[in-house]
Structure 1
Amino acid sequence: MIDVAQHVPTPPPAWVKNMARFGLTAKGVVYCLVGILAFMAAFEIGGKSEQGSDKTGVFKFVLEQSFGRVLLAIIALGLLCYTIWRFIQAFKDTENKGDDAKGVGVRIRYAFSGLVYGALAYYAAKLVLGNGGSGNGDSRETLARELLQQPFGQWLVGIVAVGTAIAGLHQIYMALSDKYKKKVQGAGLKHEAETMMIRAGKIGYIARGIVWLIIAYMFLKAALNSNSQEAGGSGSAFQFIENSSYGSYMLGAVAIGLIFYGVFMFMRAKFQVINVN
């Protein structure tokens, strides 16, 4: 006789589900604010600049608002929760990716995502504590500078460029292949709600992929020219878009896409099935 109990998945602990949903919500807030500030920079609204529209610029923007320190502390905690959830996905293989090359690659991507958002949570916490406001440098420019000082530094920066380009292409692939739909399908949503989520996700993933590809291009230039100042993050990518033909409109479109990505994170926080076993 088949033991049915062995085939019934154990529901994830409530604290893990709540942590993951809180983390996804915080990520959604950050991306919505990035998109809003980038849109304002595109059309010169409120004196916003492209360089001030990246994630660290968003943290400083939040800090300047009423109760900003409290709000930023909540965002930092949310990003920390997202970080922990990503590490759980990576090391416990909660998504059943397996131990083959493809599965390990996906789990490494989860861990890398955790490191990135862990660094953002750390930076936000430093701002809350009043210890991070003096730094004006671009973290990716700093990374490029540190790598260029190492043996085979240009190759190392080139590897970062290739990795970033792969990440950007993966975002666009996720959108065009509709694989991102798995994150929201089967959640028991009404057809209209699911359609809205899918559209928001597709546009958001494409916009995010474009930004990553531009960052990869800047790292490649930094590698080829051995000049760390040519590398940059999302703020520099926004500036690159703004300086292109029809730049304001192009940046405005990407900004709207990033807002949609943030909305998709809210929807994932609400409806995505969270696995921990």
Structure 2
Amino acid sequence: MSTRAGSSARRAASSAGNSRALQILARVGFAASALVHILLGYLAIRVAVNQGGESSDQSGAMAEITKLPGGAIVIWVVVVGLFALGLWLIVQAVLGIGSTSDKRWVRSLIPAGKAVAYIALGVTALTFAQGGSTSNSDSTQQASASILSLPGGPFLLGVVGAGAAAIGGYFVFKGVTRKFEEDLRMPSGTTGKAVRVLGVVGYVAKGVAVFVMGVLIVVAAVTVDPSSSTGLDGALKSLASLPFGVVILVAVGVGLIAYGVYTFVRARFARL
């Protein structure tokens, strides 16, 4: 009975994954993610040159979207796209579980993790679409405090931080080795060359930002101080405090913009 139920679930997931409407919405989700990353890069550069002290994380990017011409409409498109992309990734995770491949756990865990990230970003966008506001930095600190209050909390938070740092490292690896090309139907000629450059620069920059964010979470775990866990905003601003920090942060900001442009291209050429 359970086998038949599992087969039915996989058939339903396969049917949903092949849905033309869901695939189109997933591409809209990639475009929404692209816009968010371009704005993240813009905010990082503003922080680097001391032209703004506003949040340089996802909530700051959402606030910037609402300021755009037609921002009230754009933010709702972002909400729909991000939730749709999260749903499509959940479908891919289900299909990964049912795969006969030796790497089926990878085919499941990676899209599941991405789904959680996109849905969380969609929730942030939804808050702004409804006229509210939120702070990802505060949310990260509150989540860290909640984990620290659990039995073995510092260890658990350390594992979360190490996982985030590992993800950042994987982004760098994916950029340097150009594994991101497997996600695309790569265009040829000059366009293809430009996409490769954007992908390499973008993945490395995002990897650095996520890695630093993971390190800050580990610091919060070791010191049992949730105020050290400040999310992406804290990670970017901590880069500015390093020697040559302004140059580093501007480079990361440019890289995040490159990642955003690459993701716009992915919206068109992604293998779905």
Name the TM-score class by shorter chain.
0.7 to 0.9
Q: CA deviation at 1:172?
A: 1.0
Shift of 1:204: 0.6
2:166 is matched with which residue? 166
Change (3 A) 1:135 1:239: closer
SS in structure 1 at match of 2:55:
helix
Alignment-derived partner of residue 121 in structure 1: 122
Whether 1:15 aligns to 2:18 is: no
* Distance verdict in 2 for CA 1:250–1:137, change over 3 Å: closer
C-alpha distance after superposition, 1:100-138 (max 9, x if no partner):
4x43134212112111211221121122213x3265752
Q: Does 1:80 align with 2:83?
A: yes
The 2-side partners of 1:22 and 1:65 are apart by 18
CA distance, structure 2, for counterparts of residue 196 and residue 163 of structure 1:
31
Q: Does the CA contact (< 8 Å) of 2:26 and 2:82 recur in 1?
A: no
> RCO (CA 8 Å, sep 6+): is it higher in 1 or 2?
1
Alignment check: 8 A CA contact 1:219 1:230 kept: yes
TM-score (normalizing by structure 2): 0.88
* Matches of 1:253 and 1:103, distance apart in 2: 36
CA RMSD of aligned residues (A): 2.1
1:144 matched residue in structure 2: 144
Cα distance between partner residues in 1 of 2:134 and 2:120: 17
> What CA deviation, in whole Å up to 9, does each residue of 1:183-222 have, x standing for no partner?
23x44x2311111101100111101110111011101111
8 Å CA contact 1:218–1:231 kept in 2: the answer is: yes
Higher helix share: 2
Q: Does 2:42 correspond to 1:42? A: no
Residue 99 (structure 1) shift? 5.3
Q: Matched residues, percent identical?
A: 25
Q: Distance in 1 between matches of 2:93 and 2:115?
A: 9
- How far residue 39 of structure 1 moved from its aligned partner, in angstroms, is 1.1
Structure 1 residue 12: Cα displacement: 3.5
Q: Which moved more, 1:57-66 or 1:107-116?
A: 57-66
What displacement does 1:98 show? 4.7
SS in 2 for 1:213: helix
> 2:149 & 2:65 partners in 1: Cα distance?
35
Deviation, structure 1 residue 20:
1.7
Q: Is residue 202 from structure 1 mapped to residue 200 from structure 2 by the alignment?
A: yes
Structure 1: runs of 5+ lacking an equivalent:
1-9
Poorly superposed stretches of 4+, deviation over 6 Å: none
Q: Tell me how many residue pairs correspond in the alignment.
A: 257
Question: Contact 1:98–1:104 (CA<8 Å) still a contact in 2?
Answer: no
Structure 2 residues not aligned, in runs of 5+: 1-14
The more displaced of 243-252 and 12-21 is 12-21
Counterpart position of 1:3: none
